Chains A and B, each alone.
Chain A
């Protein structure tokens, strides 16, 4: 055991516990000691603010593969063979039903139907099979694990409000992210890493902005904000000790800091000081645990091969997928990936091909890897963007080329593991993949369902701010029971 930790534990343990205030830092420290087995197992802080799960959890963690920009369900999952005959015909008014379109196509004289240029194939799942296009063979090979939801729909029609809605349950910035709610509700499950981590990979097409408000803790205490692990430079900002300083030098400095902070504590009785000492120790441990996390030397070739050729390129989607598994193993509760570049308004067939090539094998590799390690059962993997894309062509339509505008009325997402029924499809859209025929899942419903799987009653996890008890699902959200295992 590290001498300074030992010191803290032996000398000041009593103080920690007897003086601890409900301050955020103090809480985190309590949490930390508890997991070291020093405190009673029933310590409520293990479960963050909730005390204990509301319901028996199926999933212990989430890996959310956010496809930023709005992937085209028509070209990947939502197979509409009938459209081939409707090439360049106008989208019927009976289908469009006067629904609003974005400012980018509202001026278009026509809405000509653009069938997907891609071939689809049926892959066996636990029902009568799953149609997936040629773009996603690896992902399709995991059909027996996927729960594919054709009936996703959202309220937002543009990227910023759309992403914000998916990630925070509200279209305008300012609310806590889903991962922050989870961190707040469930607390941390590890000693050395943050409980909510964000990783971004750059894509190949039109890249939409991504704002750190998407992983902000909003009005929740900022310790619950997502920590952005980066592909370049320090994986965590400011992680590396400066040049000319090794671990011993750092330790020596920290010992002096602890010593002087302790003295100050004895003078002032201020619990925050002890919390700060604990946070410095956590930082010290992170300086070791994060490099250990990002060092892939202990991955065998077979594993690396699962994720495809880019797996060692820091910041790539493949690298981030592998990192997600490594974090999952180490107790990070909410692992949020952003894969940018799906906004294909024009030249869709070319751009989506590159985008899919870069994402297919890595995410399928992640599923396989989790599966073979027995981790898929308690890891909820979620895949999807902020909305779908429309059946009519944006801009010029040819047999080979077209673009697609945003479409919020239906899109496809999938989940796997973590208590979701494997190998099923859910919901159905009309022949144009324009409207939902049955099995609609609103963003709030998705949130409610995800929380349910995590053992959280989405109506009960609330935070009082400005006089109101806020929650992720606002005043909405129905659990989609049909997809629960």
Chain B
């Protein structure tokens, strides 16, 4: 019995293939009359199974015996699938020197010089053609394709196609999608009343060609729900439905469409599809899986669709907005598209390896998203099917590998360097402008730094001063706060404080902060002369963005140094160490410096420090050199009167040890304090290095702190603005392109130095205008050229898929040799050309689709076409389609009135089961280690704003086939699993929505329980499904409700239990039993196929 249904599909596919072929002929070549094709009787096409490929695809080869064969539609699918892997484009795997993918290769001798010539294809003569001889060879060993290829043998039909093709002259053609589309005439149809748009002519002509007709128009309830969900992802409200039902004007439907296209939710709906394509996520996907801030880019996408930004601009800005002349903030932001890929921060990762992976990802994404081509095969060798060489692959790659980025990102989310290049986006336009201006003036100063070779300077200075700096280990792996250990690994003396609450707590405390330094590692006989302490931060403004709430001065009453000895917890002070002189970063900054107040042994005088983004640096020159090693530890103690002094991530104590000869007087004379602020570059993060470098450079040049003070002020302003801003990774080209070579077998560490590549586009797809910039921008311009054969086709095909469930080419990710053939090639070309002519008008394109008669058909499957078109590729009815994961949730929230319809903004964290993040993350370092549920309205945002942690995506989205978003995907699966049932039945989201729905109808339909029940049920049903229930449906719902009313009445605790889900307040005014009963029924309606299906 199972076989029957397979047969149905097979026959249908065959018929489809024939029809495709027939239509193609009409367009391309020697045109058979349409009737030739349609006279083929599907029933005569036995045997059937043999025509399916292994993967279930049909080879579109069935033809009437006398019909001419078409290379693209009949022959190439056979050759590509069976022959090209060994006799195709890639010379490295070409067997026997035979090439079959070009006519030249096939028709000239491939026998080695001096041997009898062998010609694979002798046009007109199969008997003389080697290919034919080998296909039908009686010897199993010699027959093609060979056994070891795991390909099934060619069947009779395939053989006959090959034979006829050779007989008919063995014509080769360019692959269909590489031929630039031309606008076809609208085909004539018999039923002239049916078409509303040119789309309909194409669809109807095809239907009529096999004697089919379209379905009747869907009823208005269905239509408005369909189009609302398709254009906004949200259901229509009962009022909107009623308005439409009442509207008798001729353009009532068009008015609805225009209203929806103007809705801000339109942009959200269309952007959803782009989130999958552009592998959008809120974390970095690898290792520690840190949060990344990409949502401003998502906002950009939504806005672009809402503004109906021409799609060619949409492409250019995302690929190369940064390279446009005087790019705007938004144009730069757009390029975040190509920074959405996974980024690693795994400690041992090798940077070069990942830089290559990021570029590979961009090649994959760009080629799939815009060209509908799969380039990935050519990463390791020439493509087996499509005409792309490995050299061309790396040429493509070279457009995308010259970004000033890091391969290995920091594990510290606060470390800005990791996301380089990035932009800060301020909260408003004015701040944004200031941010830009200030950054520009800072960059002048930054140039000063760039000129200093600073490791060398440091080296020189230290040498000249006969100083030796030495980092002495901490005595323990912790510091002490009021005698309590504060744990932390080396160099991180203190527990990192991350929450505002912890900061507040710390602020209140007056206390003693102690650091112990072990002296035992200092060289024998050396003298400790100077202590360089780096690591406390007064307030946090700027890069440590999570700690931005502490304000106000910090006050240190005493800063003391002792040598201590004894047990860890209560060591004895052996003696105190006097300080002769001090410098602090405050004094360097030209700020008032009251540090002396901390060193004066008087705890009533205070060293006050202003909040600053910089870590506090303290240099203490000792009164007397301390001989080392000495028993015990050196203890540095800060007495805090008001403790907004916070530890920074990499607190450090450096101890400078003289080699024994230098006297203190000399030291004071010869050592510039600035030189001492330099610390070994590998020990500090770049930002701090830069800071110290600047301090030093400025001091050296001018010997005045004035300039530096300016800089410091500017810098502070910048950080203050930045604090209210977010950081988004974007593209930024390096000044010089990275030299690129073919990578042997795709390995990052095996560049073939004798095969450098330049920036050129694959030859099979045309060439880039020499006048274009030779970079991503030029590439983007090439993509949107009128004669680019692919970009517009790929785009309209994907939007067709959004609206009709499948693309005209179903493999929307692949329009290459191995992709499926279009069901309506001429319609695809019409839409592509028309789209370009319209100025890449996406709204216009979608409007054409949804106002067509094709779209307005009812969605009832028509068994009478099972044999010829079982998968409804010719659209004799409108395809029912389960909603995408996000819209299933949106529908429930919108229907129940819970939805908070705010557009854009940061991602939110609605309900999910506990522990899902923790069990998968490296929690020590990750800022997405533990899931903290959002609150308030954040729980009721649209599904597309749910925080997308890539290591553990939202489970209710995963259950409904949302992709994991690590790689570019152009089409989701639609499966049907028990997990989906469990989500809809038991997830808190849906239980809360059921309760809200019950409250809503109780309030909206007042009245006594019995009297109002039917109306309430109808209303619930209408909210969730957009329809009135059928008579039987209403009866079922009513019975269910009455039964459960008895159950809940018998046990009020059950009712309370059922109503206990969700954070929204319980409707206290309602009767608990009635509320629970209606909620229970609402839950049932939420689980109906009708509710989660757009029909």
- A383-412: CB near B (< 8 Å → 1, else 0) gives 000000000000000000000011000000
Which of chain A's residues have a CB closer than 8 A to the CB of B286?
A: 160, 209
| Pairs A-B, 8 closest by C-beta atoms | A25-B976, A467-B818, A102-B348, A243-B1057, A244-B1057, A244-B1058, A283-B981, A464-B55
- A275-310 contacts to B (CB < 8 Å): 275-276, 279-280, 282-284, 286-287
Q: Is B5 on the interface with A (CB-CB < 8 A)?
A: yes
- B813 to chain A: closest residue by CB: A466
Is the Cβ of A18 less than 8 Å from the Cβ of B5?
yes
Interface centre among A44, A245, A252 (most CB of B within 10 A): A245
A467 touches B819 (CB 8 A): yes
Contacts of A209 in B (CB 8 A): 286-289, 920-922, 926, 951
Residue of B368, B913, B1056, B1060 near A238 (CB, 8 A) is B913
Whole-angstrom distance between the Cβ of B223 and the nearest chain A Cβ: 15
Determine whether the beta carbon of A104 is less than 8 Å from that of B348.
yes
B1036 touching A259 by the CB < 8 A rule? yes
Provide the residues of chain A in CB contact with B445, threshold 8 Å: none
Whether A270 is near chain B, meaning CB under 8 Å from some CB there, is yes
Q: Beyond the given A22-B56, A103-B350, A158-B346, please list 9 additional residue pairs across the A-B interface where CB-CB is below 8 A.
A: A20-B2, A22-B5, A104-B348, A173-B964, A209-B922, A242-B991, A244-B1053, A260-B1090, A282-B978
A45 on the B face (CB < 8 A): yes
By the criterion CB–CB under 8 Å, are B150 and A173 in contact?
no
Complex interface: chain A residues within 8 A of B1056 (CB): 244
Residue from A45, A103, A225, A238 within 8 A of B987 (CB atoms) = A238
Asked if A467 and B385 make an inter-chain contact with CB atoms under 8 angstroms apart, the answer reads: yes
- Per-position 1/0 for B284-315, Cβ under 8 A of A: 01111100000000000000000000000000
In the complex, B165 has a CB within 8 A of chain A? no
Residue of A with least CB distance to B3? A44
Q: Which residues of B contact A283 (CB under 8 A)?
A: 978-979, 981-982, 985
Binds B, one of A115-123, A261-269, A419-427, A441-449: A261-269
CA distance A213 to B342 in the complex (A): 12
Interfacial chain A residues near B1095, Cβ < 8 Å: 268
Chain A residues whose C-beta falls within 8 Å of the C-beta of B982 in the assembled complex: 236-239, 283, 286-287
Within 8 A of B (CB), among A33-66: 39, 43-45
Q: How far is the CB of A10 from chain B (nearest CB, A)?
A: 16
* Contact among A24, A44, A259, A466 with B376 in the assembled complex (CB-CB below 8 Å): A466
Query: Which of B347, B978, B1058 contacts A286, CB < 8 Å?
Result: B978
Q: How far is the CA of A157 from the CA of B57 in the complex (A)?
A: 39
Bound-state CA distance A406–B348 (Å) is 9
- Where the two chains meet, the residues of A that have a C-beta atom closer than 8 Å to any C-beta of B are 17-26, 28, 30, 39, 43-45, 100, 102-105, 157-160, 172-174, 200, 202, 207-213, 216, 221-223, 225, 227, 230, 232-234, 236-245, 249-250, 252-253, 256-257, 259-261, 263-264, 267-270, 272-273, 275-276, 279-280, 282-284, 286-287, 405-406, 457, 459-460, 462-464, 466-469
User: For residue A277, which residue of chain B has the nearest CB?
Assistant: B1089
Report how far A462 CA is from B286 CA in the complex, Å.
27
A238 in contact with B9 given A44-B2, A208-B922, A233-B914 (CB within 8 Å): no
Q: Is B1084 an interface residue (CB 8 A)?
A: yes
A267 to B357, CA, bound (A): 51
B386 an interface residue at 8 Å Cβ cutoff?
yes
Asked if residues A405 and B991 are in contact (CB atoms below 8 Å), the reply is no
* Chain B hits for A252, CB < 8 A: 1040, 1043-1044
CB distance A253 to B1083 under 8 Å? Answer: yes
Cβ-neighbour of B976 out of A28, A159, A236, A257 (below 8 A): A28
Can you name the residue of chain A whose Cβ is closest to the Cβ of B1030?
A263
Partner of A222, one of B9, B346, B813, B973: B973
Find out whether the CB atom of A212 lies under 8 angstroms from the CB atom of B57. no
CA A261 to CA B1030, docked complex, whole Å: 12
CA distance A279 to B342 in the complex (A): 34
**Contact indicator B976/A212 (Cβ below 8 Å):** no
Q: Closest CB of chain A to B100's CB: distance in Å?
A: 17
| Residues in chain B near residue A172, CB distance under 8 A | 357, 967
Contact partner of B6 among A22, A105, A157, A466, CB < 8 A? A22
Please tell me if the beta carbons of B979 and A227 are within 8 angstroms of each other in the complex.
yes
Flag if A269 contacts B860 (CB, 8 Å): yes
| In the complex, B374 has a CB within 8 A of chain A | yes
Distance between Cα atoms of A200 and B918 in the complex (Å):
11
Best-surrounded residue of A158, A272, A273 (most CB of chain B within 10 A): A158
**Min CB–CB distance A179 → chain B (angstroms):** 15
Per the bound structure, the CA–CA distance linking A162 and B954 in Å amounts to 25
Of residues 626 through 643 on chain B, the ones whose CB sits less than 8 Å from some CB of chain A are none
Is there an interface contact between B983 and A279, defined as CB atoms closer than 8 Å? no
A residues less than 8 Å from B1083 (CB atoms): 253
* B344 interface residue per 8 A CB criterion: yes
Note all chain B residues with C-beta closer than 8 A to A104: 347-348
**Are B1033's CB and A211's CB within 8 A?**
no
Q: Within the complex, which residue of B285, B357, B1084 is in contact with A211, where a contact is CB–CB below 8 Å?
A: B285
Tell me the complex Cα distance, A18–B455, Å.
Answer: 79
| A272, B350: Cβ atoms closer than 8 Å | no
B1056: nearest chain-A partner, CB-CB: A244
B1, B862, B967, most chain A CB atoms within 10 A = B1
A252 smallest CB distance to B (angstroms): 6
**Residue numbers in A under 8 Å from B976 (CB-CB):** 23-26, 28, 223, 272, 275-276, 279
Cβ of B966 and Cβ of A237 under 8 Å apart?
no
Q: How many A-B residue pairs have CB under 8 A?
A: 284
Q: Is the CB of A160 within 8 A of B880?
A: no
**Those of B1038-1095 within 8 Å (CB) of chain A:** 1039-1040, 1043-1044, 1047-1048, 1053-1061, 1076, 1080, 1083-1084, 1087-1090, 1095
Contacting residue for B1033 out of A23, A250, A263, A460, CB 8 A: A263
On chain B, the residues within 8 Å of A282 by CB distance are 978, 981
| 28 A-B pairs with C-beta separation under 8 A | A17-B1, A18-B1, A24-B973, A24-B976, A160-B287, A173-B966, A207-B923, A209-B286, A212-B952, A212-B953, A227-B979, A233-B915, A238-B955, A238-B985, A244-B1053, A253-B1084, A257-B1084, A261-B1090, A264-B1090, A272-B882, A275-B976, A280-B981, A282-B978, A283-B979, A463-B55, A464-B55, A466-B368, A468-B384
Q: B340 within 8 Å of A by Cβ?
A: no
Residue of B nearest to A263 (CB): B1032
Contact B6 A468 (CB under 8 A): no
Decide yes or no whether B816 CB sits under 8 A from chain A: yes
A106 to B976, CA, bound (A): 49
Q: Please indicate the chain A residues that have their CB under 8 angstroms from the CB of B1053 in the complex.
A: 244
Q: Which residues of A contact B977 (CB under 8 A)?
A: 25, 28, 222-223, 279
Task: Specify which of A43, A160, A240, A273 is in contact with B986 (CB 8 Å cutoff).
Answer: A240
B669 is an interface residue with CB less than 8 A from chain A: no
| 8 Å CB contact of B817 from A25, A230, A467 | A467
Contacts of A275 in B (CB 8 A): 976
Identity of the chain B residue whose Cβ is nearest the Cβ of A280 in the assembled complex = B981
> What's the nearest-Cβ distance from chain A to residue B734, in Å?
22
Alpha-carbon distance A23/B978, docked complex (angstroms): 15
Given contacts A244-B1076, A253-B1040, contact A269 B863 (CB under 8 A): yes
B859 within 8 Å of A by Cβ?
Answer: yes
Q: Which of A159, A236, A264 contacts B346 (CB 8 A)?
A: A159
Say whether B1084 contacts A24, CB under 8 Å. no
Docked-complex contact A269 and B1076, CB < 8 angstroms: no
Q: Which residue of the partner chain B has the closest CB to A19?
A: B5
Say yes or no for B408: interface residue by CB 8 A criterion. Answer: yes
| Residues from chain B with Cβ under 8 Å of A22 in the complex | 5-6, 9, 56
In whole Å, how far is B295's beta carbon from the nearest beta carbon of chain A?
Answer: 21
A207, A257, A264, A267 — most chain B CB neighbours (10 Å): A257
Question: Does B958 make an interface contact (CB < 8 A)?
Answer: yes
Q: List residues of chain A with CB within 8 A of the CB of B287.
A: 159-160, 208-209
B1080 to chain A: which residues have CB within 8 Å?
A: 245, 249, 253
Q: Which of A100, A227, A234, A259 contacts B350 (CB 8 A)?
A: A100
In the complex, B428 has a CB within 8 A of chain A? no
Known: A239-B986, A406-B348, A469-B55. A211 touches B951 (CB 8 A): yes
